[in-house]
Amino acid sequence: MARHEMWELRQMQSLPLQAKIRMTEYRIRQWYEEFDGQVYVSFSGGKDSTVLLDIARKLYPDIPAIWVNTGLEYPSVRRFALSKENVTELRPKMNFRDVIIKYGYPIIGKEVSQILWEVQKSKREGKDIPIYRLKRLNGEAIDKDGNPSQYNIPQWKFLLDAPFNISHKCCDVMKKNPAKKYGKENESVGIIATMADESRLRQTKWLKHGCNAFDLKIPQSNPMSFWTEQDVLTYIHTYNLTIADAYGQVVVKNDGVDGQMNIHDCIGDYRGCQYETTGCKRTGCAFCLFGIRQDLERISRLQKEEPKIADYVLRGGEFSESGMWQPSKDGLGYWFVLEWLNMHGNLKIGIPNRDCYMDKYCTEENRKYLELEVK
C-alpha cells in the first residue's frame, strides 16, 4: 500500500526552497539518528548530489561520502568528486564495455530497458513471455478502472526488433552493487539525491516508500525527493556553491536579449528567477543512452567537450556469434546503435561525424538492418 498520494507530492514540490531545505534537513537528521550515525552520502559529483552533500555536511561535517568510479563520468566531474574531503572512491567489478556485451545497451530509460530485457531474455531462453510486459508494449494493459494503463509504452515496441540487446543492468552492476558492498562492509546505509520528478519509476517509489524508506530490505534515504531541477539550480546560485566544470555556471535563464545584462543581475534581486547552466544540463553517465530522447545532442556535446572519449564511444562494434551487435576491441559501436534508433524510431539523435563512421564501419550486414542499399 502506498504511503503517499500524488497530491501530496505536488503540494510539496510547490513549496518555497527554504521550506524544502528545512524538510530535507529533518529527514537527514531522522535518518542519521535512526542508524546512530552509521550513514553515508552517495556522491556522484553531479549538481544534485553536490547540493545534498552541502546540506548534509552543514548538519554533520564528518559524514562520509562514496563516489563510484564507473569510467562513464566527465573528467571534470571525476576531478570534482575526488577533490572533496572524506570521499571514498569505489570501483565496479565490470567495465561498461563488458556490461554491454553481457547484458545489452542502456536505451531510452531504465523502465523501458527492463521490460525489453525481460521479454528478449524470455524469447532467447524459450520461456513464456511475461504477459503484462507484453501488454504494455502492445498498449493493451488496463488499469483498475478499465481504462488504458498510463504505463503502456507501445511507442517503444519497435525496439524488440533491435539487432542489439537492450538492458537496464548497467546501473545495478556499475553503481548499486559497489555501494551495497560498501554499506555491508561498513554497516552503514545511504543517503541519495534522487528526485521524484526525474522519472516515473522514482515517482512511484516515493509514493510507495516516502523519502526515508526504512521498510526496504536495504534501507535508503532520498531526502530531496520532492525537489525539482529549478530548486537545485536556485540553491547553487543562492549559496554560490561550486559545481563540476562540465556544468559551466548557473545563471538566470536567458531572456532572449543577447549582449545585455539581465535585470536581475543589475538589481541583485533573484526572487522568482528561472535558472539554467551554461554547460551540460545533466552529467550523470556521459554516454549512457537513458534519457536520450530529452537530450538528443548528448553525444554531439560529448564530442565537442571530450573528443577522444566520444570517438571511443562511437567507433567500432561487431556482430556476435548470436548475430547481435555489441562493442568490439575498437570501441562501443554507438554509431550503429544511434543510426538504427534514428532510422526505425525517428528519434533524431545527433551523431557527430556520422558520415565518417558510416564510411569506415558500415558493412553489408549493417546496411541490411539500416535499410540502406547494399553496395
**Domain end among 231, 247, 262:** 231
pLDDT (0 to 100) of residue 269: 45
Pairwise CA distance, residues 355 & 200, whole Å: 36
- Contact of 80 with 56, CB cutoff 8 Å: no
- 189, part of any domain: yes
Name the nearest CA neighbour of 120 among 170, 156, 173. Answer: 156
Residues 157 and 182 in one domain: no
Residues 15 and 61 in one domain: yes
Strand 250-252 versus strand 275-277 pairing type = antiparallel
Q: Confidence class of residue 262 from pLDDT cuts 50, 70 and 90?
A: low
Residues 23 and 65 in one domain: yes
- Contact of 16 with 234, CB cutoff 8 Å: no
The CB density around residue 12, as the number of other CB atoms within 10 Å, is 18
Residues 90 and 65 in one domain: yes
Strand 189-191 versus strand 39-42 pairing type = parallel
- 352, part of any domain: yes
Residues 305 and 326 in one domain: yes
- 117, part of any domain: yes
**The three three-digit cell numbers of residue 34, written as one number:** 535512526
* Structural domain span for residue 120: 107-161
The CB density around residue 189, as the number of other CB atoms within 10 Å, is 20
- Going 336 to 341 to 342 to 348, the CA torsion angle's sign is negative
- 18, part of any domain: yes
Pairwise CA distance, residues 306 & 326, whole Å: 23
pLDDT (0 to 100) of residue 267: 40
**Domain end among 231, 255, 284:** 231
Share above pLDDT 70 across residues of the chain, in percent, rounded to a whole number: 93
pLDDT (0 to 100) of residue 276: 94
Planar angle of CA 94, 100, 102, nearest 5 degrees = 75
Pairwise CA distance, residues 361 & 357, whole Å: 6
Query: Which CATH number goes with the domain that contains 214?
Result: 3.40.50.620
**Domain end among 183, 208, 231:** 231
Pairwise CA distance, residues 372 & 51, whole Å: 48
- CA 2 to centroid of chain Cα atoms: 24
- 252, part of any domain: no
Residues 327 and 347 in one domain: yes
Residues 174 and 220 in one domain: yes
Strand pairing partners for 318? 326
Residues 321 and 358 in one domain: yes
Pairwise CA distance, residues 207 & 209, whole Å: 6
Query: What's the whole-number mean pLDDT along residues 270-276?
Result: 77
- Contact of 68 with 90, CB cutoff 8 Å: yes
Residues 14 and 145 in one domain: no
Instruction: Encode pLDDT of 327-349 as tens digits.
Output: 999 999 999 999 999 999 999 99
pLDDT (0 to 100) of residue 263: 46
- 270, part of any domain: no
Q: In what order do the strands lie in the sheet with 39-42?
A: 87-90, 65-68, 39-42, 189-191, 220-221, 212-213
pLDDT at 10 > cutoff 50: yes
Residues 10 and 63 in one domain: yes
The total of structural domains in the chain comes to: 3
Phi and psi at residue 103, to the nearest 5°: -115, -45
CB-side neighbour CA atoms (13 Å) of 342: 13
Name the nearest CA neighbour of 164 among 273, 319, 38, 26. Answer: 319
- 359, part of any domain: yes
Contacts (Cβ under 8 Å, ≥6 apart) of 39: 31, 32, 63, 188, 189, 190, 191, 221
Query: What's the whole-number mean pLDDT along residues 281-292?
Result: 86
Residues 15 and 86 in one domain: yes
- 278, part of any domain: no
The CB density around residue 171, as the number of other CB atoms within 10 Å, is 18
Share above pLDDT 90 across residues of the chain, in percent, rounded to a whole number: 78
Instruction: Encode pLDDT of 84-132 as tens digits.
Output: 999 999 999 999 999 999 999 999 999 999 999 999 888 888 888 888 8
Residues 29 and 128 in one domain: no
**The three three-digit cell numbers of residue 304, written as one number:** 565537442
Query: What's the whole-number mean pLDDT along residues 36-48?
Result: 97
Cα dihedral: 357, 359, 360, 365 (round 10): 100
